[in-house]
Amino acid sequence: MRRLLTLFNLLMVAYVVAPIVLVVWMSFTPTMLFEVPIRSFSLRWYEELFSYDAFIDSAWLSLRLGLISALAATALGFLAAYGLVRGRPPGAGALLGLFTAPLIVPAVVYGIAMLQFTNLVGLYGAFPALVAAHVVIVLPFAVRTLLASLEGQGPELEWAAMSLGARRRHAVLLVTLPLCLRGMVSAFLFCFLISFSEVTVTLFMAGPAHQTLPVRIFNYVSDRIDPTMAAVSALVVLVSVALVLVLNRLGALAAVRK
């Protein structure tokens, strides 16, 4: 019985990771046609990739957008989580619901809303608007990660610091923040990962001037297929998998599991 289950799970794992593995595999094909199985190894498509300015631009945009929004979301997320945990304001549950709503509200819905709203206020296609949208999208991950971090710490250490003469800002800076470092790093990386993978909202609202890597791939794949795409995709997979492994080591993936 157990063996049957193991066999089933091996097949299941093969199924769920197949497209990811295949993309990486294909990116090393030397010919224009997808050869199965791969006959020889080539980095040709990677070389070609670096001559596509459009993809380089997109990669830079994705990187910039990811870093800025992750940084902003981690900062806002820490403040918000601190306020929720230590302040227990009236309606804390509703506030947490609001901060994590982007997890539940479909990306298509938010994408449409941002498309229409940025047009209304004259910010369509503006980079700050895109950053704001990405911060909103990744904020739930920052808030959840840092909430867990702060709740695990308990208030006693801050009380101890304050009883020894520290003002709140000193207690937060000297005690709370250093002890949340792991959570902060996790939140930052998590936010970057989510921003880096975001397609839908960006596609709806960013306009032609701001095509992130996933959006560029989306537009390109809709037209035609060539192994250059596999090379870009393989790079995206590499970044994502590396981040997931680091986050797993940091124990941060529980923020999704809840």
In what helix (H) or strand (E) does residue 140 lie, and over which residues does it extend? helix 127-153
54, 79, 94, 209: which one contacts other proteins (CB under 8 A)?
79
The least CB distance from residue 47 to other proteins, in Å, is: 20
Contact present, 107 and 201 (Cβ < 8 Å): yes
The terminus-to-terminus CA distance of the chain in angstroms comes to: 31
- Whether residue 139 contacts residue 102, with contact meaning beta carbons closer than 8 Å, is answered with yes
Q: Is 51 in the site for other proteins (CB under 8 A)?
A: no
Based on CB atoms, which residue is closest to other proteins, 21 or 56?
Answer: 21
**Residues 201, 129: contact at Cβ < 8 Å?**
no
Residue pair 74/55 in contact by the 8 Å Cβ criterion: no
Least distance from C-beta 65 to other proteins, angstroms? 14
- What residues numbered 98-157 form the site for other proteins, per CB under 8 A? 98-118, 120, 129, 132-133, 135-137, 139-140, 143-144, 155-157
Distance of alpha carbon 54 from the chain centroid? 22
Which residue in 34, 46, 52, 124 binds other proteins (CB under 8 A)?
A: 34
From residue 229, how far is each of 52, 59, 176, 205, 214 by CA, in Å?
A: 11, 13, 45, 23, 11
When the beta carbons of 42 and 100 are compared against other proteins, the nearer one is: 100
174-233 residues in contact with other proteins (CB under 8 A) are: 174-175, 178-179, 193-194, 196-200, 203-204, 214, 217-218, 221-222, 225, 229-230, 233
What secondary structure does DSSP assign to 75-134, as a single string? HHHHHHHHIIIII--TTHHHHHHHHHGGGTS-HHHHHHHHHHHHHHTT-TT-HHHHHHHH
Minimum separation from the CB atom of position 236 to other proteins (A): 5
Token pair 């020894």 is found at 164
Stretch that binds other proteins, among 38-46, 49-57, 248-256 (CB under 8 A): 248-256
- Residue 41 makes contact with other proteins by CB under 8 A: no
Query: Which residue, among 109, 74, 14, 13, has the nearest Cα to 255 in the 3D structure?
Result: 74
Residue from 38, 71, 185, 244 in contact with other proteins (CB under 8 A): 244
Residue nearer to other proteins on the CB measure, 13 or 43: 13
Spatial distance between the Cα atoms of 32 and 47, rounded to a whole number of angstroms: 14
Q: Which is nearer to other proteins, 7 or 43 (CB)?
A: 7
84 lines the binding site for other proteins (CB under 8 A):
yes
Using the 8-state DSSP alphabet, how is residue 38 labeled?
-
Minimum gap (Å) between residue 179 Cβ and other proteins:
6
